[in-house]
Amino acid sequence: MLIIGIAGGTGCGKTTVVNQIINELPENEVCIISQDSYYKDTSHLTYEERTKINFDHPQSIDFELLGDHLKSLKNGEIIKQPVYSFVEHNRTTETIITAPSKVLIVEGILILTNPTIRDMFDIKVYVHADSDERLIRRLKRDIAERGRDMEEVLDRYQNTLKPMHQQFIDPTKEFADLIIPNNTYNNVAVDILRTIIKERLD
């Protein structure tokens, strides 16, 4: 199994890069694990308390469960991947049955911050986009897909996203094997990554 970690700040275009990669691979040979599925369970908190959690801090992620699941998949075992609700700020009771595959892509803003998880990646990728571009993408996504209003998104960006990016996420570029500039679609860098994947698989 080839495990690829794809990190980068919010709105940098990780999902676009992931989709560009998987579109070139046979469907049964690749599976995706999202860091967002592994936010810690917050059922013991009220909704108001959950809205105040700093979800952009590494402590918000259940890295222990993520690590256990990656080990299980590498050992050929099926896992039950959690399902997270951005509307409720909590895990749901549902799970996704995920089977091992030749290529496993793990994507998320904080996945390179954890040394144990980081060491499990065969290829580490950091997708970079400038802060203005990332903010615009975040605004569009959170309003359209996550039921947020503009004031809430901007407030969270200023008080949480931006400082957390500077403190935790941006420094993880130094761990990356490949940095993909992604202010616009970077087909050359993605092609290089696809070539590396195919060579490893062969």
Cβ contact 5:112 at 8 Å: yes
Question: Domain boundaries in the chain?
Answer: 2-194
**CA quadruple 100, 121, 37, 76: dihedral, nearest 10:** 20
Cβ contact 63:116 at 8 Å: yes
For residue 59, what are its two tokens? Answer: 């402590």
Query: What does each of the 202 residues of the chain score in pLDDT, given as a tens digit?
Result: 999 999 998 777 788 888 888 887 877 888 999 999 999 999 999 999 998 888 889 999 999 999 999 999 999 999 999 999 988 888 999 999 999 999 999 999 999 999 999 999 999 999 987 777 777 777 777 777 776 778 777 777 777 878 888 899 999 999 999 998 865 566 788 888 888 888 877 7
pLDDT of residue 160: 81
What is the fold, at CATH topology level, of the domain defined by 2-194?
Rossmann fold (3.40.50)
For residue 157, what are its two tokens? Answer: 């960006």
Query: Of all helices (H) and strands (E), which one includes residue 69?
Result: helix 63-74
153 C-beta neighbours (distance < 10 Å), count: 19
Name the nearest CA neighbour of 193 among 32, 2, 9, 33: 2
What pTM was estimated for this model as a whole? 0.85
DSSP 8-class letter at 36: G
